[in-house]
């Protein structure tokens, strides 16, 4: 059994077979053989080795003739490793005596060899691990042939283990069969983490290198609460986690009864509890969990999951589906937040050494007006189908907001001239995600209909921490006193001006912060759909005076650790016995 500590980015427990994306995104379909199949499987291994050897020989000869014998020697070394008698004997022993399938024997053995090379201090020798992995891929391709099951066409549940997953890759994971994922790199608050949370699957990132320690088909546990990954768990550990999964199911079932109840505090104050979504199909889950509306529709995922650039009709159909399904509940559509780590597959942006400070979000939309106008036209057309609100992301200056509003007004005129119906009273809002927006909040409240605080970016820009960088992950925290003071600074002027303000970052989905946010004056929260029941339950157990005391105390503390500990203590004091 091996434990890996990473960063917990999406809660939950998952137990299942590993699918290691390092071996080209296909899985090993079975690990064990029946006794009478051993001889035929040994023959299959022999054929695969012969096939792989022929491939390597062809590569060696081609490279030698074009680049010289020195380069061809690389493949000659591969050939020697493949034909090594010790390796072959070890593979055959695993098949004959332990009844491993050839695929599983190959993966287990060669990944162990690769790990030995990786552990060497000599850099040149350590890089030989890549040669071992290359041989593993060749053998698996030969063994699996047409039976290869790729990540996009799974047929049974798996846990995905990868070096990294981009937000677009995460968005296209097969939701029916991918039950969780782990990546070697990445940090809290990354868009990959947000997608995982939206999918409601456990996820851990930033574990460091481990892919050579695991083979496809191995049993793995992902603990998305603790950021823990367990490879090859023993029976006792498996039993304990299976019991925890059952306990979580029981707890989730107990929350079903409050689905149709209002998110109303114990002293009778109503809190609007909205859902965050990335894809139209998530609307069903929001309704199932009792959401009061959609507080954040991240429309950029229309691009990240698409094979072609969406046109106006693609946008309209997606928005119309969400608006109609919500049946009169408010739907806040955020305009594109592309850029930084959210880049479509087929449209790479220019190389940017600091993409989170570069051309992204509203800046990108204002620079690419055809893209922006296409989306705004679709939003306006969908606005007649329900209660649509439009929201601009990452606004830093009043000028940016005014430019966006002018373009929206221009499109309204255009639609009007062509007789296309739209909501003339469409509510216009902006996200508060950068300290500059907070500092200018008294000006912004005079120009918009609503505000929404995006803490994922606000934390990043306030603390100067790249939220996708595991090396500074420990510095990325919603508990930082500077972040809490900025939220307070944004909420007070908005409330005083009568401008509705919500909070839609990951912070709003964590019960630890619920009392603090209510105490700071927020009466609207937008969270991942899976978090709605738990947050609603908590809201219904607290009073606003209790929350105000908590917020007042938190604002006096100097350190993130002290604030987080205090909030946990208060939560446990009021709701003792519940493991939040």
Question: What residues are annotated to the active site?
Answer: 191, 504
Are the C-beta atoms of residues 230 and 244 closer than 8 Å to each other?
A: no
Q: Please give the Cα distance from 247 to 251 (Å, whole number).
A: 6
The span from the CA of 141 to the CA of 199, in Å, is 31
Are the C-beta atoms of residues 329 and 295 closer than 8 Å to each other? Answer: no
Helix (H, G, I), strand (E, B), or coil: what is residue 233? Answer: coil
> Is the Cβ–Cβ distance between 298 and 319 less than 8 Å?
no
> Concatenated DSSP letters for 527-546?
E-GGGHHHHHHHHTT--HHH
What is the Cβ-side half-sphere exposure of residue 313, based on CA atoms within 13 angstroms? Answer: 1
- Closest of 479, 578, 472 to residue 534, by C-alpha: 578
What is the DSSP code string of 186-232? --TT-HHHHHHHHHT--EEE---S-GGG--TT-EEEEETTTTEEEES
Tell me how far the alpha carbon of residue 558 is from its chain's centroid: 31
Distances (CA, A) of 49 to 23, 252, 287: 17, 50, 54
For CA atoms 429, 433, 437, 438, the dihedral sign is positive
Judge contact between 465 and 459, C-beta under 8 A: yes
The Cα 288–Cα 303 span in angstroms is 26
Longest pairwise C-alpha distance within the chain: 82
Angle subtended at Cα 506 by Cα 502 and Cα 512, rounded to the nearest 5 degrees: 90
Contact (Cβ atoms closer than 8 angstroms) between residue 417 and residue 370: no
Q: Cα separation of 146 and 218, whole Å?
A: 22
CA angle 460, 464, 469 (to 5 degrees): 70
**In this structure, are residues 372 and 339 in contact, taking their beta carbons and an 8 Å threshold?**
no
SS3 content of the chain, % helix, strand, coil (to 5): 55, 15, 30
Strand, coil or helix: 266: coil
Backbone dihedral angles phi then psi of residue 323, each to the nearest 5 degrees: -65, -45
How close are the terminal C-alpha atoms of the chain, in Å?
27
Q: 162 has which bridge partners? A: 183
């Amino acid at each position: 059994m091996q434990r890996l500590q990473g960063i917990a980015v999406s809660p939950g427990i998952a137990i299942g077979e590993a699918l290691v994306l390092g071996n080209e995104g296909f899985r090993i379909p079975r690990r064990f053989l029946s006794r009478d199949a051993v001889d035929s499987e040994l023959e299959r291994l022999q054929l695969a080795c012969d096939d792989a050897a022929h491939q390597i020989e062809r590569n060696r000869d081609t490279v030698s003739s074009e680049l010289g014998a020195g380069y061809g020697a690389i493949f000659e070394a591969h050939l020697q490793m493949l034909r090594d008698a010790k390796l072959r004997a070890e593979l055959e022993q695993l098949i004959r005596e332990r009844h491993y399938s050839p695929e599983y024997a190959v993966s287990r053995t060669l990944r162990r060899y690769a790990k030995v090379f990786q552990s060497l201090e000599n850099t040149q020798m350590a890089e030989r691990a890549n040669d071992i992995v290359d041989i593993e891929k060749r053998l698996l391709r030969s063994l699996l042939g047409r039976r290869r099951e790729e990540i996009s066409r799974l047929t049974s549940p798996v846990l995905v283990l990868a070096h990294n997953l981009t937000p677009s890759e995460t968005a296209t994971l097969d939701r029916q069969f991918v039950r969780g994922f782990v990546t070697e790199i990445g940090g809290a608050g990354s868009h990959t983490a947000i997608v995982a949370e939206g999918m409601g699957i456990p996820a851990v990132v930033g574990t460091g290198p481990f892919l050579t320690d695991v083979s496809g088909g191995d049993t793995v546990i992902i603990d998305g609460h603790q950021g823990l990954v367990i490879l090859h768990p023993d029976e006792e550990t498996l039993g304990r986690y299976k019991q925890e999964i059952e306990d979580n199911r029981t707890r989730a079932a107990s929350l079903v009864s409050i689905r149709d109840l209002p998110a109303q505090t114990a002293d009778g104050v109503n809190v609007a509890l909205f859902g965050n979504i990335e894809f139209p199909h998530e609307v069903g889950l929001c309704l199932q969990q009792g959401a009061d509306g959609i507080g954040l529709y991240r429309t950029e995922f229309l691009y990240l999951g698409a094979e072609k650039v969406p046109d106006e009709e693609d946008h309209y159909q997606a928005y119309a589906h969400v608006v109609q399904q919500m049946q009169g509940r408010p739907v806040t559509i955020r305009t594109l937040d592309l850029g930084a780590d959210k880049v479509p597959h087929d449209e790479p942006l220019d190389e940017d050494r600091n993409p989170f400070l570069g051309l992204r979000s509203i800046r990108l939309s204002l620079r690419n007006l055809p893209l922006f106008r296409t989306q705004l036209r679709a939003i306006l057309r969908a606005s007649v189908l329900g209660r649509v609100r439009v929201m601009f992301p990452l606004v830093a200056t009043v000028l940016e907001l005014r430019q966006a509003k002018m373009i929206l007004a221009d499109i309204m005129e255009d639609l009007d001239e062509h007789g296309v119906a739209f909501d003339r009273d469409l509510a216009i809002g902006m996200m508060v995600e950068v300290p500059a927006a907070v500092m200018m909040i008294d000006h912004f409240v005079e120009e918009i209909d609503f505000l929404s605080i995006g803490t994922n970016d606000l934390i990043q820009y306030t603390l100067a921490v790249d939220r996708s960088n595991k090396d500074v992950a420990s510095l990325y925290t919603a508990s930082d006193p500077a972040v809490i003071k900025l939220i307070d600074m944004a909420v007070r002027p908005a409330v005083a001006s009568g401008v509705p303000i919500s909070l839609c970052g990951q912070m709003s989905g964590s019960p630890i912060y619920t009392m603090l946010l209510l105490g700071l004056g927020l009466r609207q929260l937008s969270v991942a759909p899976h978090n709605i029941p738990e947050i609603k339950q908590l809201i219904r157990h607290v009073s606003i005076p209790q929350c105000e005391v908590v917020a007042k105390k938190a604002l006096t503390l100097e350190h993130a650790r002290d604030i987080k500990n205090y909030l946990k203590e208060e939560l446990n004091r009021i709701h003792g016995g519940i493991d939040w």
